[in-house]
Amino acid sequence: NHTLLSYEILKTHQIPIAGIVFNGPANPSGEKFILNHTVLKVLLRVPELNKIDPEIIQEYAKQIEL
């Protein structure tokens, strides 16, 4: 729900969206619904993390292919 609401707001305001980052435990049916509805590509999948800091964000950002 949060992903779809964010998508709609960004689309309404004509803000470009490169794709989606899924985080936490996998939810195949939910992810499929989101991808079909938005027609966006998956940029990255991030597992559930105990800690998020600038270094961890930097490491995951390097994995994104635009």
Write the pLDDT tens digit of every residue in 19-39. 999 999 999 999 999 999 999
pLDDT for the residue 33 = 96
Contact 44, 23 (CB under 8 A): no
pLDDT band at 17 (very low <50, low <70, confident <90, very high): very high
Per cent of the chain over pLDDT 70 is 98
Question: Tokens 């803000």 — which residue?
Answer: 15
pLDDT for the residue 20 = 95
Q: Say yes or no to pLDDT of 66 above 80.
A: no
Question: How many Å apart are CA 35 and CA 59, to the nearest integer?
Answer: 24
Looking at residue 20, the DSSP 8-state letter turns out to be: E
Question: How many Å apart are CA 44 and CA 37, to the nearest integer?
Answer: 18
Angle at 25 between CA 53 and CA 34, to 5 degrees: 100
